[in-house]
């Protein structure tokens, strides 16, 4: 009975064979299913468009994809033992397969398994033996994994088997169609995935059934690790992307009715836009975006969380996007998009991804509300603009003190409770928190949202500056 081994390449291969057999789980596979997959590989890895790609980037020097082999029989002699290894009985003294524990039939090196050392190289192996002992089924799974990988190279693993199966099925469907098209038209370009690697990863994830649920319980959450594997002879490489449980939790939260519409709009505005230069435009073909900047930035969370909030939630134009021809973030504008600024979405993000405690987020919301009400009541345009644009902590403090004094002069209760102020901006008296800019952005998000609801912002959009004149920095 076949089951997942927890090795990403072998498991992606098993999920691919399962999807090819149109079954749900590896344990349902029988020998006829393995035969069908092996036959497909024997037929298609050995001719264009796959032969060059597989030989160059996945199994360099593997016998059966070697373009130097001229006859069908030569090829069959080489791939027979590898592709159809599961038919053979293991020798009596067989070692154990390193992946599944069954008796092994072959000792495998990098020509049939990416990122290992070559044949005969004994470094990094036990007992001075080169390669790894592998059983016939795992060996077939390893030959099959490119078919269930994005762009034949992006392998996606998860602690949730349903997610592993989802990615392999999606990628297999796309690849089989693309291979057919490429064979029919003789054009390798069909093999290119629709989206850039990172966008493909997040977009495919969001299509999974497990991601469509609302209110996902903690125990149902999972994580994802993706590997962009190239085994190219000259420059093998491995790039790893990780989507932790917290990010998955945030993304499923965004299915809740109260966030869904705003979140969809935020995502839709992050697709690359058509470059203005005519030179890059192909005749007659409509522009199809390949990259979603928000999806790509999700893969760097939480390290880029401050910028993520400022760009996507506060809608500040991204300084670094100004030199790009197709980055939409150069045109983000709090002024034009204040209706998209949402404290609810931001708060979910703070709790799920930044683990900010509830008390602090509530203090920020309260401060945002108080300041917004003050701006509306006093029509203090100058305060709003200064709070929006302030770059130094001591200036921020002065702006707030001035507003507080103005409030006292009008005979109103003090604007800012001392405790609230301290917990939002300072570590101790007079000592700014290192993340005071983030705190300011967060208070601002609530202020913008509330002033928009109060219809004050609609009448005063001119006070919001168009763009930052310089990149935001983390220094004071």
For binding to Zn ion (CB under 5 A), which residues are involved? 97, 99-100, 135, 138
Neighbours of 28 (CB within 10 A): 13
Residue 201: HSE in the Cβ half-sphere, 13 Å Cα cutoff: 27
Nearer to Zn ion, 25 or 472 (CB): 25
Minimum Å gap between C-beta 310 and Zn ion is: 49
The residue among 100 and 294 lying less far from Zn ion, judged by its C-beta, is 100
At 85 the three-state DSSP class reads: helix
Least Å from the CB of residue 18 to Zn ion: 15
CB of 100 to Zn ion, least distance (A): 3
What is the closest distance, in whole angstroms, from the C-beta atom of residue 111 to Zn ion in the complex? 18
H-assigned helices in 299-392: 305-308, 343-352, 358-378, 381-389
- Close Cβ partners of 317 (under 8 Å, ≥ 6 residues apart): 329, 330, 331, 332, 333, 466, 467, 468
CB of 10 to Zn ion, least distance (A): 7
* Residue number with CB closer to Zn ion (75 or 110): 110
Q: Which DSSP category does 315 fall into?
A: -
Whether the Cβ atoms of residue 51 and residue 62 lie closer than 8 Å to each other? no
Nearer to Zn ion, 97 or 201 (CB): 97
Q: CB of 87: closest distance to Zn ion in angstroms?
A: 15
How far is Cα 26 from Cα 122, in angstroms, rounded to an integer?
Answer: 33
Nearer to Zn ion, 141 or 165 (CB): 141
Is residue 156 within 8 A of residue 19, CB to CB? The reply is no
DSSP string, 163-209: HHHHHHHHHHHHHHHHHHHHHHHT-GGGGS-SS-HHHHHHHHHHTSG
Q: Which pairing describes strands 224-230 and 237-243: parallel, antiparallel, or unpaired?
A: antiparallel
> Which residue's CB is nearer to Zn ion, number 100 or number 109?
100
Minimum distance, C-beta of residue 102 to Zn ion, in the bound complex (Å) = 5
Q: In the complex, what is the shortest distance from the CB of residue 143 to Zn ion, in angstroms, rounded to a whole number? A: 13
Nearer to Zn ion, 138 or 318 (CB): 138
Q: How far is the CB of 164 from Zn ion (least distance, A)?
A: 17
Q: Is the dihedral of CA 100, 104, 106, 107 positive or negative?
A: positive
Q: Which is nearer to Zn ion, 96 or 183 (CB)?
A: 96
Using alpha carbons, list the distances in angstroms from residue 104 to 17, 39, 46, 99, 381.
Answer: 20, 21, 25, 10, 75
Q: Which residues pair with 242 in a beta bridge?
A: 225
Q: 410: helix, coil or strand?
A: coil
Closer residue to Zn ion in complex, CB, 85/368: 85
If the CB atoms of residues 134 and 224 are measured against Zn ion, the closer one turns out to be 134
Q: What is the three-class DSSP state of 430? A: coil
CB of 2 to Zn ion, least distance (A): 9
Element (H, E) at 298: helix 293-298
């Amino acid at each position: 009975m076949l089951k997942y081994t927890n090795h990403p390449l072998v498991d992606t291969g098993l999920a691919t064979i399962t999807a090819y057999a149109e079954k749900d789980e590896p344990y349902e596979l029988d020998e006829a299913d393995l035969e069908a997959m092996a036959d497909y590989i024997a037929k298609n890895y050995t001719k264009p468009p796959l032969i060059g790609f597989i030989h160059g980037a996945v199994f360099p020097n593997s016998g059966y994809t070697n373009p130097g082999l001229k006859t069908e029989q030569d090829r069959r002699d080489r791939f027979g033992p590898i592709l159809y290894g599961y038919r053979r009985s293991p020798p009596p003294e067989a070692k154990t397969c390193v992946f599944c524990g069954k008796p092994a039939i072959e000792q495998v090196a990098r020509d049939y398994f990416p990122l290992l050392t070559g044949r005969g190289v004994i470094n990094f192996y036990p007992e001075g033996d080169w390669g790894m002992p592998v059983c016939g089924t795992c060996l077939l799974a390893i030959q099959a994994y490119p078919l269930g990988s994005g762009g034949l190279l992006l392998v996606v693993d998860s602690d949730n088997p349903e997610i592993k199966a989802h990615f392999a099925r999606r990628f297999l469907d796309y690849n089989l169609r693309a291979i057919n098209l490429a064979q029919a038209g003789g054009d390798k370009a069909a093999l290119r995935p629709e989206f850039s690697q990172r966008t493909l990863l997040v977009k495919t994830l969001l299509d999974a059934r497990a991601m469509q649920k609302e209110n996902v319980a903690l125990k149902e959450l999972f994580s994802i690790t993706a590997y962009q594997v190239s085994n190219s002879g000259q420059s093998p490489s491995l790039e790893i992307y990780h989507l932790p449980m917290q990010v998955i939790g945030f993304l499923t939260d965004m299915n809740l009715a109260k966030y869904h519409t705003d979140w969809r709009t935020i995502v839709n505005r992050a697709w690359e836009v058509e470059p203005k230069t005519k030179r890059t435009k192909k005749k007659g073909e409509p522009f199809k975006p390949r990259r979603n900047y928000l999806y790509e930035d999700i893969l760097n969370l939480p390290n880029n969380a401050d910028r993520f909030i400022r760009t996507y939630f506060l809608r500040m134009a991204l300084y670094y996007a100004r030199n790009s021809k197709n980055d939409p973030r150069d045109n983000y504008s709090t002024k034009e998009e204040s209706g998209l600024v949402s404290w609810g979405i931001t708060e979910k993000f703070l709790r799920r991804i930044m683990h900010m405690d509830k008390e602090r987020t509530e203090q920020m919301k309260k401060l945002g509300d108080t300041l917004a009400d003050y701006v509306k009541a006093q029509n203090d345009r100058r305060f709003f603009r200064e709070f929006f644009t302030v770059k130094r902590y001591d200036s921020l403090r002065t702006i707030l003190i001035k507003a507080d004094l103005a409030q006292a002069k009008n005979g109103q209760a003090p604007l800012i409770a001392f405790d609230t102020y301290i917990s939002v901006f300072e570590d101790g008296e007079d000592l700014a928190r290192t993340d005071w800019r983030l705190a300011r952005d967060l208070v601002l998000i609530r202020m913008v949202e509330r002033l928009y609801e109060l219809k004050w912002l609609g009448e005063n959009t001119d006070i919001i500056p168009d763009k930052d004149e310089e990149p935001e920095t983390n220094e004071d």
